[in-house]
Structure 1
């Protein structure tokens, strides 16, 4: 068979997930643009009795659209709100629209723009935009629930344990289909089956958990074990080191009282995240804004350099100016990373990517200069604007290298819990270039994990400064 049943099933599932998630996100973007324009005009009519807005008001509305697009994307307002309460989404929506309008007011005040000083118009515009945008998201939630209740845009999950809590998880997720989480089965912690979970199949013991999660591309693992089974919980987390599946722990009531600061609500169920993205909430917002603002400014500044390099690549060897390679991005999803082509066009064997080595005959003379100075990486600022990469983060490795190293370097795949970066803590500490030994890759991973655990805006700025000062040229870059 050309495609195995597992791969075919996964492909169909991924298409459905991407299709509907992308559709809802796209429709919300269009809706927000329409809302801010329409409400701006309606607010002018309420305030002045006409819809013929003068130029300065039209410019204010246009700036509002720009600020909204930047802020909404940066603050993850178009991501899935699966299982999150309406109140949480409403609070974040109010916060983001407040930022948008504060930016608009600050722009007018600081630049002393004349003509758009009507406080009543600003008030109408803000209140109407928040109300209309909120109503639109309620409709979107209902549409998403309708789609998920029919088996589309569904995340897959497995449960570990057969306790009363496990049974409650299965019943709740089955009853609340709007959350879009499908339980594929459950795993036991020992050889003997103590009781069955009604409605879902038994898939094996803990030894079968990690292989099943990987082969079936399970999105979530729900642990419903007593807190006293610490050894089993530790084993689950360790066995899933190579997986990017979310791990959720459903505690007993006593555990909830002890750890209630770690609890979140998903589909009405209290869960504790044992492993989640180290950059979430406000940190994700700040880093997203940092990435887009800096990337836009840098691209404007380096545009002439990009043009000169592109001309140099074209004149010194045949082939395309840009080289696009598949890498693993956030949550292990495949992305295409852009670089200036530094090698002669050549063919690799299927499933193989050969790392560049010192005096590699495939590298052109101009490409060697680009690689030594890291100038071949400059197009990745476009990847940052696309939201696929960050300026600072773990460097993305070729997909084939990830498959190789994840089995021999502990915690290797945890690097993919944040967006990959153009530069990183490992690179400015000398860990650049070829990773021809396991020890070199392990050291790089250690630095990447240190960065993720200690992230701050100041650390990012420090790494950027170190990259400019000493990171562009290094003996290991070839």
Structure 2
């Protein structure tokens, strides 16, 4: 039996101008956000501190009393304590890390307090005085050079523009010239203008504004931001152009990118703070990405290990029930409308699988196998998506990823039913979500049901937190008892 082929959607750059597509391809990877740089530095420092604390214990403990395993655990614990205190003292802030002289004073207190904690705890056999002096020596020999090297690396990253916030301008008139000139004259500017988008031509919007080229129209900007990793959009329009600003905001609302008005910023910082400076605030900032990724990796790996026996039993049942592959892959919309391939257990007969998702499964659908009906009702067919979570294309919790050509049972495309439908892609899609625990899953048999799902997805996006993710995960097993729409 031949395996169903996945539909291949057109590349994101198709229809985009040559200049915009070339710039977008060069920005396919995200910039090195300060939180990512801090995480890398903390990881390196934590590893070195763990080893250092281990040798501190080794040097301060009589040979017959030294236990390598216990010393290793204590070393990791003390390193985590030191890192936590360093972070509390601001030692991982980018402005501090780039300067070794400012960095070391923020690091020393946390290190010394960790040493004191180790000495006070005693670990049953370590002499406090020996630990302290051995640790102080290690500070001079190991930590000072390490911090100096990290400061050099952080300073190089900043000087190379790796940490700069990438921005595009919507509008290329006098406001754009004022902004570009102001940014070039600002000391310590961290905003990098990658291009200008404007529908106008001639003097109202020249092809180049102070060496920054116009690379597309307003309609191109959304597609550009789908393809490139952009940190902010700046509207270079006068505040009096209220109608035009409102139209552009509605167009950009589907993007996970904050939108600012240049006229509202006097210092050209465009900080994404909760003070109302952004017309459209960021929905998925770098620190949120990192926190959600750590959450997904930790819980996702644990769930995969615990559910491995169940997945093995399902795989055997599928193999015994019908011919064909055990798994089914389907192309779906991911974060920021990117295309991802989602894994599932096969629930249909192999020669009737619908890789495009253009024909929704209905009650009593003859394409579904006997085992498939059970899997779909219990949602066990979704378990292989844990591999997607580890890969990073899915999250444990988020708006459910729909097929590229998803339609209702009335053969209406989802994007035609709900205006701005792709706004639900401003966060990574998930295995379960806010809409699913409220019963909105399975067949879309009328437009209103899809609108309810969309509204629930937007609520989740606008109120996201790790606590909300955890609450949704805990409520998911109970929500699966409602199988009215699952078939």
TM > 0.5: yes
Contact 1:279 1:418 in 2 (8 A): yes
Deviation by residue 1:334-360 (Cα, 9 ceiling, x = unmatched): 333222222233488996743333333
Write the mapping of 1:248-259 to structure 2, written as runs, cut at 5 A: 248-252=260-264
SS of equivalent to 1:225 = coil
SS of equivalent to 1:447 = helix
Distance 1:297 1:222 in 2: 42
Contact 2:439 2:482 in 1 (8 A): no
Give the superposition deviation at 1:377.
1.1
SS of equivalent to 2:196 = strand
* C-alpha spacing 1:14/1:476, structure 2 compared with 1 (3 Å): same
| 2:244 counterpart (223, 228, 232) | 232
Distance 2:188 2:156 in 1: 13
Q: Which residue of 1 aligns with 2:457?
A: 448
Ranges in structure 2 where 5+ consecutive residues have no aligned partner: 1-10, 85-91
Distance 2:337 2:353 in 1: 23
| 2:406 counterpart (401, 424, 445) | 401
Q: Which residue of 1 aligns with 2:361?
A: 356
Distance 2:14 2:397 in 1: 38
Contact 1:338 1:383 in 2 (8 A): yes
Distance 2:141 2:174 in 1: 49
Distance 1:194 1:461 in 2: 49
Structure number with higher relative contact order (C-alpha < 8 Å, ≥ 6 residues apart)? 2
Deviation by residue 1:437-458 (Cα, 9 ceiling, x = unmatched): 4433222111111222334555
* C-alpha spacing 1:378/1:136, structure 2 compared with 1 (3 Å): farther
SS of equivalent to 2:183 = helix
Aligned residues: 442
Q: Which residue of 2 aligns with 1:371?
A: 376
Write the mapping of 1:190-209 to structure 2, written as runs, cut at 5 A: 193=204, 197-201=209-213, 208-209=217-218
Distance 1:377 1:129 in 2: 48
Q: Which residue of 1 aligns with 2:50?
A: 40
| 1:167 counterpart (158, 168, 178) | 178
Q: Which residue of 2 aligns with 1:463?
A: 472
* C-alpha spacing 1:458/1:240, structure 2 compared with 1 (3 Å): closer
Are residue 222 (structure 1) and residue 234 (structure 2) matched? yes
* C-alpha spacing 1:202/1:333, structure 2 compared with 1 (3 Å): closer
Are residue 418 (structure 1) and residue 427 (structure 2) matched? yes
Deviation by residue 1:389-417 (Cα, 9 ceiling, x = unmatched): 33322111123339953465233222222
Q: Which residue of 1 aligns with 2:340?
A: 335
- Output the aligned Cα RMSD: 5.4
Are residue 304 (structure 1) and residue 309 (structure 2) matched? yes
Distance 2:352 2:199 in 1: 47
Ranges in structure 1 where 5+ consecutive residues have no aligned partner: 72-80
SS of equivalent to 1:477 = coil
Distance 1:181 1:304 in 2: 50
Distance 1:417 1:423 in 2: 16
SS of equivalent to 1:376 = helix
Are residue 380 (structure 1) and residue 385 (structure 2) matched? yes
Q: Which residue of 1 aligns with 2:448?
A: 439
Larger Rg: 2
Write the mapping of 1:8-19 to structure 2, written as runs, cut at 5 A: 16-18=26-28
